[in-house]
Structures are given as structure tokens and as C-alpha cells.
């Protein structure tokens, strides 16, 4: 669990630095995609969502 927390902090910090170079529309969609992906990962890790469903493209 600690590994997941460390990785998520690293990804969030990298995501915010990437967002600085985007315009408002790109930032909005980038945030939505990252947020949806993070929500799927959290739900799958808690067992609220089947991991195979979360892996689908």
C-alpha cells in the first residue's frame, strides 16, 4: 500500500508539471483523464470494481 501511495504522489507531481504547458482546454481534459484513471485504480484496489473491468480500454 505504501508503494501505491508513493507512486501516486510521484505521478501527481509529474502531472501538475505537465499541466503547466497546456492551455485551459487541454488542462481540463488532461485532468479528467487522470482523475478517471485514478478513480478506476482506487476502486479496483479496494475491491469495489473487478480488475478486469478496470483494465479494459
| Domain assignments of the chain as residue spans, ordered by start | 23-57
- Residue-wise pLDDT tens digits, 40-52: 888 888 998 888 8
Structure confidence at residue 36 (pLDDT): 86
pTM above 0.85, yes or no: no
Whether the CB-CB separation of 8 and 38 falls below 8 Å is answered with: yes
CA distance 26 to 33: 11
Q: Is the Cα torsion angle 22, 25, 28, 32 positive or negative in sign?
A: negative
- Residue-wise pLDDT tens digits, 14-33: 555 555 667 778 878 888 88
CA distance 27 to 25: 5
Amino acid at each position: 500500500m505504501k508503494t501505491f501511495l508513493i507512486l501516486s504522489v510521484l505521478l501527481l507531481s509529474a502531472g501538475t508539471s505537465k499541466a503547466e504547458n497546456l492551455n485551459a482546454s487541454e488542462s481540463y481534459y488532461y485532468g479528467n483523464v487522470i482523475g478517471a484513471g485514478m478513480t478506476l485504480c482506487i476502486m479496483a484496489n479496494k475491491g469495489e470494481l473487478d480488475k478486469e473491468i478496470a483494465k479494459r480500454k
